[in-house]
Structure formats: structure tokens, C-alpha cells
Amino acid sequence: MKRPLKFYNRVSQSCETKEKFSPFQRPLFKEPLMYRLFCCVTGFSLLFILGCGPKLPYEVVPFSGTVTYQGTPVPGLPIFFLPEKGRPSNGFSDKDGKFTMIYTAKVDGIQTGKGSFYTELSPGDGSHYDNRELLETIAAKYPKNNELLLFEFTKKEKNFELKLE
């Protein structure tokens, strides 16, 4: 049922009643077939535009393990893996020295291939575990681009032990 709308004439300020639809009441499509076709085309267009998400440029495998220094787990240590080509991964050891490497915000792991582990400290690192001196010693021994912790990975690692001496 159509509802009459009131339109005001600016000159006479009188009110007239007309049988018209406002833009919000007018049906977009007069036939159900056109509506279905519109929905299908719109849906497929969105799927095409969004796709399955961006693909990573390198192969990334899940990676976790434990970091130890002279046989003792090291809590609160920031750990980085720098591959020969590509982007680095990072991790942070918990109170038991366990860590999981993170490649991007949504992807855990490290890039396959050759690379080296290193550590860098920021002002707040180690403050939760009262071992700042130990972390500074480790960071001085294993800076970025060191040759001491050079590894090559081709598959996922769940129990890797990063032994620091």
C-alpha cells in the first residue's frame, strides 16, 4: 500500500499530497530475478576483490623452542632470526626460556633457508625477571649479523634448543 507523502511549496507554504515514493521507500528492483542477479554479482565481485588474502613471498614454517645460556633457561630474552633474504622473525622467551617465533602479526614461524639468530635489548627488557645483567652479557656476545648462531632450516621445529655459551 502506498502512503501519501506531504510536500511543501516554498512560495505559498501550503501542503500538497502527492502519490510518490521517497528515495528510501522506492524499491530498488521491481522483479525478484533482478534482485537475485544483483546480489550474486555483488557477492562474486567482493570475493574476487578480496581473494584469499596476500600470499607470503617466502616459505614460512612454525618455529618454537627453548633458549639456554650455559645450560640454564634464559627468561625475558628477545630473540630475532635474520634470514639471508627476506624479513626477520622475532620472539621473546618466557620464564622457562621457551619462545615462539613470529613472522608477521598473523603468521607464526621463520622463513626457511639460512639465517642467524641474534638478540638486542630495549630499555624495558628483563625488568620482569631481574636478570638485566645476564641479558646484557648475552646481547653483547650475540649481536646482529653474528656468525656464531648461523643455521639453516627447511622444516618446522617445535623443540629447538638455542644453546648460548
pLDDT at 92 over 70: yes
| One domain for residues 33 and 86 | no
Strands, DSSP E only, in 19-132?
60-61, 63-69, 72-73, 78-83, 89-92, 98-100, 110-111, 113-118
Question: Can you give the pLDDT at residue 91?
Answer: 93
Q: How high is the mean pLDDT of the chain?
A: 78
CATH code of the domain in which 99 resides: 2.60.40.1120
| One domain for residues 97 and 156 | yes
pLDDT at 106 over 60: yes
124/122 Cα distance (integer angstroms): 6
Question: Can you give the pLDDT at residue 24?
Answer: 56
| One domain for residues 93 and 147 | yes
| One domain for residues 124 and 44 | no
Question: What are phi and psi for residue 97, nearest 5 degrees?
Answer: 80, 5
0.85 exceeded by pTM: no
The reply to whether 55 falls in a domain is no
pLDDT at 20 over 60: no
Give the Cβ contact number of residue 61 at 10 Å. 16
